[in-house]
Amino acid sequence: MKKVERQRELVKSNIDLFQCPVCEQPMKKIEGNSLVCINNHRFDFNRHGYLHFLNGAANTEYGSEMFNSRRQLLNAGLFSPIIEGISKLLPAKSMKILDVGTGEGTPLMQLNALRLKYSDTMIGFDISKPGITLATQLPLAAFFFVADLRKLPFTAQSFDLILELFSPSDYQEFNRVLKNNGMLIKVIPNANYLIELRHLLYQDGERNYQYDNSRVVELFKQHYPNSQIKKIKYRFDIPNGLQEALLEMTPLHWGENAKKLSREEFDQLTTITVDVSLLITKKS
C-alpha cells in the first residue's frame, strides 16, 4: 500500500476524531483524495500523504535541516529517558494519543515502540511542513498533518493523552479535545537543559546564558491547580560527529549574541546535560 493510501485508511478508520477547522462541523467521508466535512469543505491529501489544515502558509522558522539534525540526535538516544519516563506514567490500555508540535515525529515513534502491545491510535501535528514531511517517512502507523495549535481539527473529548514536548500550548483547545479523565503531559526545559551548549554560545550576563521556566510552570498551575511535576535529569554522551547537529537542532544559536563556535569548541563538546520537567495533569 502506498503512503497516501495508508494515510487515507488511517483517517477513514478514525474519521470520528476529526472536525472541520473552517466550520467546526464533523468530517463526513473520504472522497477520492479528499477528507470532506458535512458542509462540503474539502482537504486534500498531498503527495507525502498528509493533510494541510492551515488557512494559508505556516509562519515558522523551523526547516528541514533543523529537523534532520533533531532526528539524528533522537535516534542516538538524546530523549530516550524522557520518552521512557512518559511511558511509565501511562495506563496499560489502548489510548488515543495526540502529539502536539510533533516535528519530525521521532518521539511519537519511540513512545509507540514502548507500547506496541496496546495498539494505540497515534496522531501528530505541527505547523512546520518540513517536519511533517519527514514524519510521514517514519515506519509508524500514525497519522501526521499540518495544523494550527489554536484551532485543532478534532471533535470534543477525542483523546486519552495529549503529549507536548518543548512546544507552545493552548490550554483551552487542549481541554476541549481531551476526554474526561484524560491526561496532559507537557515537557519543558529546566535551567540546566543543554547548559554546556548554552554557555559556549553566550557569555555570563547575556540574555540566553541562563534559562528560567518559572513563568511556564506558573501558567500551567493556574490552569491545572492539581497538576504534578516530575523532573528528569541525565547526561548524554554525544556521538562523535553529531556536535554540529546538536547545535542545529535547537534555536539556541538563533540569539542575537550567539557565538560562532570553532572546530575546537565543537570537539570539546562530548557530553550534554538533559534537564527537563514533566508537567502532568488529568482532566476532571
Question: What's the grid cell of residue 102?
Answer: 510533533
- Residue 72 makes CB contacts below 8 A (sequence gap 6+) with 242, 245, 249
Q: Return left, alpha or beta for 194; rule: phi > 0 is left, psi -120 to 50 is alpha, else beta.
A: left
- The strands making up 27-31's β-sheet, listed across from edge to edge, are 27-31, 34-37, 42-44
Q: How far apart are CA 249 and CA 61, in angstroms?
A: 12
| CA proximity to 183, closest of 140, 232, 116, 120 | 120
* Interval 209-268: pLDDT, tens: 999 999 999 999 999 999 999 999 999 999 999 999 999 999 888 887 899 999 999 999
Radius of gyration of the chain (CA): 19
Tell me the C-alpha distance between 150 and 45, whole Å. Answer: 22
pTM (2 d.p.): 0.94
Model confidence over 133-184: pLDDT tens digits?
999 999 999 999 999 999 999 999 999 999 999 999 999 999 999 999 999 9
Largest CA distance in the chain: 60
